[in-house]
Amino acid sequence: MTIFQTAVNAEGYLHPLYAQSFSDFGTPIFLPNSKGWLIKRRIFNSPYFDAMGPYPLFFCKDWDLLIDDLEALREQIVSVSLVISPFSVFPKEAFESYFDPFHTYKPHYILDLSLPLNSTISKNKRRNASRALREISIDLIKSPNIDLFEWFDLYQKLIKRHHISGIRAFSHDSFKNQIAIPNTHYFRAFHGNSIVGGNLFYIQGDVAYAHLSAFTEVGYRTGAPYAIKWVALIYLSDIVRWVNFGGSPDVENGKKTGLDQFKLGWSNSSEHSFFCGKILNESIYHDLVSSLKTSDMSFFPAYR
C-alpha cells in the first residue's frame, strides 16, 4: 500500500502501523504535506465525520504544513482534535491563531538520562527497585519478536484492575499493529518462570516514550513495576537522552492521582502537552451542538 511507503524513517507514534491500530474506532487518514496521521470517525446519530489525533499523542514530520493539511479536509470532516507532545517543535503563534481551543493540557513527566540515575530517581523508588530485583528478573524483547498473546493477556489484567474502557482498551488486532512497529522495546518481568509484568517503550529520535505497562497481582505484590522501570532506564540511558513517562489518563479536579505520583518519582521535570481543536464546518458543528441541548462547551468537540 502506498501509505506504508511513508514508514521509511517513521518511528513509534509516527509509524503507519500505529495509526492502523485505531481502525476499530475509525479510518486512518494520512496527511500528505505534514506527514502525520488522523483517525476519521463517524459522529453518532449523524451522516457526518470528525477526526482525532491517535491516542495519546499526535505527531507529524513538518509542523509548518499541518494547517494546510487540515484546511484540505474541510469537505470531509466537521472538526479535528489532537494532543501535541511537549517535545514537539511547532509554530506556536500560528497554532494559537488558527485553532479554536488551543491550550496547555496534561503535564508529562520527563526524565533527563544525561544526569546520573542515582541522583535523579527518588531514593524510595531506588530502594523499592532494589528490593524487588531480589525476586524479579527482567529481560528485553524487541519487535518483531514480541509475543502478542503474552502481552495481550497482561493488558487484559490491567483493563480488569482499573475498569478501562473506550479507546484505551486496546483490542487484540490493535496490539498486533502496535507491537509490530520497528524498534519497539518490551521489557518483561518474571517471578520464577512466570511473567508478572511488561512495559512497552517507543523510541523516537532521542526520546523514549513509555507507551504502556501492565502487571499481574503477583507482579504488584513483588514490586515488579519498580524493578522493570529501573532496569529499563539503565538500558535506555545508553540509547536516548530523554524518557517521557506521559501523564495521567485521569484527572481528578487538578489533583495528582496515584499514577501521577508514581511517574513523578521516576522523573526530574514535567512539561505540558498541548490540546488543539479546530472547527472545519461551523454550520454543521453548531447544528450538532444545538441538537444536544447542552450549555457545557468546555469539552471539544462539544457534540461528543
For the chain (304 residues), the mean pLDDT of every run of 10, in chain order, is 48 96 96 97 94 96 97 96 95 96 93 93 92 97 97 96 93 97 97 97 96 97 97 97 84 62 86 95 92 72 89
Q: Which three cell numbers stand for residue 251?
A: 484527572
pLDDT number for residue 298: 74
pLDDT number for residue 220: 96
The answer to whether the CB of 7 falls within 8 A of the CB of 16 is yes
pLDDT number for residue 297: 62
pLDDT number for residue 171: 96
Q: Which three cell numbers stand for residue 43?
A: 459522529
Distance in angstroms (rounded) separating the CA atoms of residues 269 and 124: 17
Could you tell me the strand order of the sheet in which 36-42 lies? Answer: 27-31, 36-42, 49-52, 79-84, 269-279, 102-112, 242-244, 207-215, 194-204, 185-191, 136-142
Report which of 31, 59, 75, 24 is spatially closest to residue 276, judged by C-alpha positions: 59
pLDDT number for residue 18: 97
This prediction's pTM: 0.91
**Residue position matching grid coordinates 484527572:** 251
Distance in angstroms (rounded) separating the CA atoms of residues 166 and 170: 8
Where would I find the H helices in the chain? 16-20, 66-71, 92-98, 117-120, 123-132, 148-162, 172-178, 217-221, 224-236, 258-264, 282-292
